[in-house]
Chains A and B, each alone.
Chain A
Amino acid sequence: MGRGFRRKGEIEMEHGTPPNNEMISGKITQDIQLLKAIFDRSIDIVFREFQLGDVQTAMLIFLDGMVNTIIIDSDIMRPLLEYGETMLQKSRLSPNGLESLLQNQVITAAQVSSGERIQEVVDHVLSGDTVLLIDGVNKALFISAKGWGKRAVEEPATEAVIRGSREGFTEHLLTNITLIRRRLRTPKLKIEGLQLGQLSKTDVAIAYLEGIADDAIVEEVRKRVNRIDIDAILESGYVEELIEDNSFSIFPQVNYTERPDKIVANLLEGKVAILVDNTPFALIVPVTFFEMMQASEDYYQRYVISTLIRLLRYLFLIIALLLPSLYIALLTFHQEMLPTSLLLSAAASREAVPFPALVEALLMEISFEALREAGVRLPRPVGQAVSIVGALVIGEASVSAGIVSAPMVIIVSITGIASFIIPSYSQAITIRLLRFPMMFLAGSLGLYGVLLGVLFILIHMTRLRSFGVPYLSPIAPLHISDLKDVLVRVPWWGMIKRSTEVSKNNTRRIKGTIQPRPPKRGG
């Protein structure tokens, strides 16, 4: 069904630009004219003309701001001007062309390649390379002297930890790859690159561990990513929506993170990571529902603590989803379930409230969501003011004005906090959204409606798959050995095998028993 949305005819983007199948002619004036026409009306393009020896005209083309001018000065211009004359004479005797002599003996920059087509020149200039054209030579040299303003590696803002690495991904793809590579010094780590987006030409990398990741999944990822044909990829969210299994589902089927250690941990479990240039968020596939409930810190803390925190998270997941609807159902349909004293105080506080419980809850929940959204979008100092006004002033005033009851304020606050306990933001937002249909069901059919809603959600989740892996595995379908890392987190010496659904061919991660024990006495 989703296929119809993916491609609506061919995208017409080449419109207006001249055809660039032409080869470099070798006559520099002609080539320059063509290139200047292509880069018409662009203030950041630089054409630096100079003389190689006395007669030969040469030209450096680059985009100002995307190159490191120090490298251009010291490793390109200076050697060219110094040795240009000698090389020119040498080239008359040697069978090799002038450009290969320059490439091999003069230019000291690390990465140099050559090409013959105008389109290549354009592509390299746009990706930040410096292009050298020489009169009389029908080849161009592409010298890598990239350098632009980059954000330093900082602590990830969305996934803070108490214990664990403080490095987070940046917007620069190569930096991110380095952060992964530094944690996995093995040639088995494969990072395949490709470009997506007809206009943006965004670099995308698919990373996996050969021999651990399931080949079928890697091939499926490759296939789905290669199928993407769009004008631009600005964030990994574009890729996520274009590769997920069921695009009509509310549940996220692709995980994302800005923590390199999390990516590496997932690679070690046989997952595939997709890194996109210009965004610190890398994607992880395949993913299950339970993995989104895990934080990287679970594996760094001691296992008892991690297990308890994990159980707490599941409890609050249920609270985030169901608490308002349970409250509505109890107050509207099943008052007898409440203990008498609690019922009396709830009734007393609701006496002045003119709305039914459902309307009251909807009012509060929607204004809470609005407050949260306002807090996210506003500049930080203003955001604080909003939360103070929202939480304290409005909450307090609306209770004393008799618009909402005090228990409802408690319910909404607990629900709000509960939704923040879920580690994955996309998961949390799903749960928050599902709360609203549950509230309507509770308001119309009571607990029976809530039960039907929960059953519907569960059925939907069992039907979901992420790259062929059932969304609710390892509980449904059940894999008993994988339960060690779902509701509980067993100690590291117990994590003997990888997940069966993801890593099919290479499941063992620990050799023998490494459970620590004290040395034997007298031995």
Chain B
Amino acid sequence: MLDRGKISAGQAGALMFTFLEGGVAVIVPASATSFAKQDGWLTIIFAALVGIVVVLLFTNLGLLFPKQSIIQYSEIILGKWFGKIVGLLYVLYTFYLGSLVIGGFRDYVTTTALPRTPPIVVSGPLLFVIAYAVWGGIETLGRVNQLILPFRELIVMLTIFLLVTEFKWDNLTPFMGQGIVPVMKGSISVASLPFGETILFAMLLPNISNIQKVKRYYIVAVVFGGMLLTIAVLISILVLGPAIAARLNYPTHEIIKYIEKLGFLTDMDILGVLIWITSGFMKIAICYYCTVVGLAQWCRLSDYRSIVIPVGILLFIFSIVAYGTIMDDAVFASTIWPFFSFPFVILFPLLMLIIAKIRRLGGRKQKG
């Protein structure tokens, strides 16, 4: 194992929850409401069910090889050459995902908080701090997340509480006005975007100390993450109405502006940046970490730390190249990304699981 650090299944679950929360600000609310309008929140519930399937798939696969990551056991299952190719594809998938998330958050910060700052000045320091966390390994990521998570959720709950008076319940009707089809279309997009991405957590399995409990924690994380996303979209619709929520780039950010309490709590939307950046930070950090460790495993390096900085520079550059504008990304996320990510999220794990079962591979089977 490259990173000797160990995290508990609870910490891994908390990381996954934060990872899903990273989608609250960017893309997800827009893509959820763009298809299904006032039923946008419903799409997330369906998508979360897909997320649970994904988690079950990769944890069942991973538990066959509890000491190895998906990059390593793909070689065992699929044979040297084909396994190497799949492993490399996974590394590139995490890398691509990482650069897209960086691009998304870079744009988010520049448009909402620092309009006159050059985008690379925003993403550069962010990546520097993340690189420092990745250098510390999975233990550091798990602990930092554990430290920030309660405070962030506290602020989120407070924000929701302050917004209650702004709710307009009529915004939710008509329920399923256009039938089930738009909801399903939205679900496919949302399922691939935050929930399918949880496949990255297959990389963390070998670092979890009580691996037997991990399936439960991962599912709990998906359930709670789904709940949070549902609530976020629901509140956006309740406050802004489906038409505006679908049109805005960052509806979950804009709703915070609606808080006007006690005469001085006004225009708090910058707080939104702070909340969502901490979760986006962890999301980027996990993508970054998985890319680095995956690449190190794929190249059979003895230490992953030597490639932290090179990969970070590549991520920095690629995030400029890969991510155009928020409009490009929204179209990309709803039309191309579901089909692009399908093999990584469902096809390859399913294939590997079937082959592993047929060939009777994996630690548990050999014992029995």
Contact = CB atoms under 8 A, between A and B. Distances in A.
A and B pair up: yes
Interface of A: 333-334, 336-337, 339, 342, 445-449, 451-452, 455-456, 458-460, 462-463, 470, 472, 475-478
Contact of B144 (A336, A449, A462): A462
B273 A447 contact: yes
Interface in B268-291: 268, 270, 273-274, 277-278, 281
Secondary structure call for the A interface: helix
Contacts of B114: 333, 445-446, 448
Given A458-B147, A470-B143, A478-B146, A445 B125 contact: yes
Contact of A339 (B109, B129, B146, B263): B263
A27 B87 CA distance: 85
Given A339-B263, A339-B266, A447 B113 contact: yes
Contacts of B11: 477
Interface of B is mostly: helix
24 contacts: A334-B270, A339-B263, A339-B266, A445-B117, A447-B270, A447-B273, A448-B113, A448-B122, A452-B125, A452-B126, A455-B148, A455-B278, A456-B132, A458-B144, A458-B148, A459-B133, A459-B136, A460-B132, A462-B144, A475-B146, A475-B147, A476-B142, A476-B146, A477-B142
Contact of A462 (B136, B274, B278): B136
Given A339-B263, A339-B264, A463-B136, A451 B274 contact: yes
A459 B113 contact: no
Interface string B139-181: 1101110111000000000000000000000000000000000
Interface in B5-49: 8, 10-11
Interface residues of B, number: 34
A333 B113 contact: yes
Contacts, number: 82
A333 B113 CA distance: 8
B62 to A, nearest CB: 23
B284 to A, nearest CB: 12
A154 B285 CA distance: 53
A445 B117 CA distance: 8
B146 A455 contact: no
Given A449-B125, A452-B125, A337 B268 contact: yes
Given A339-B266, A452-B126, A472 B147 contact: yes
Interface in B86-136: 109, 113-114, 117, 121-122, 125-126, 129, 132-133, 136
Contacts of B267: 336-337
A452 B278 CA distance: 9
Contact of A477 (B126, B129, B146, B273): B146
B143 A334 contact: no
B352 to A, nearest CB: 32
Interface string B304-320: 00000000000000000
A449 B124 CA distance: 11
A456 B129 contact: yes
A459 B129 contact: yes
Nearest to A462: B143
Contact of A448 (B133, B136, B139, B273): B273
B309 to A, nearest CB: 16
A476 B129 contact: no
Nearest to A451: B274
A339 B263 CA distance: 7
Nearest to A477: B143
Contacts of A342: 264
Shortest Cβ-Cβ A-B pairs, 3 listed: A476-B143, A462-B143, A339-B264
B278 A476 contact: no
Contacts of B263: 339
Given A449-B125, A455-B278, A462-B139, 19 more contacts: A334-B270, A337-B270, A342-B264, A445-B125, A448-B122, A451-B274, A456-B129, A458-B147, A459-B133, A460-B132, A462-B140, A462-B143, A462-B147, A470-B143, A476-B144, A476-B146, A477-B8, A477-B146, A478-B146
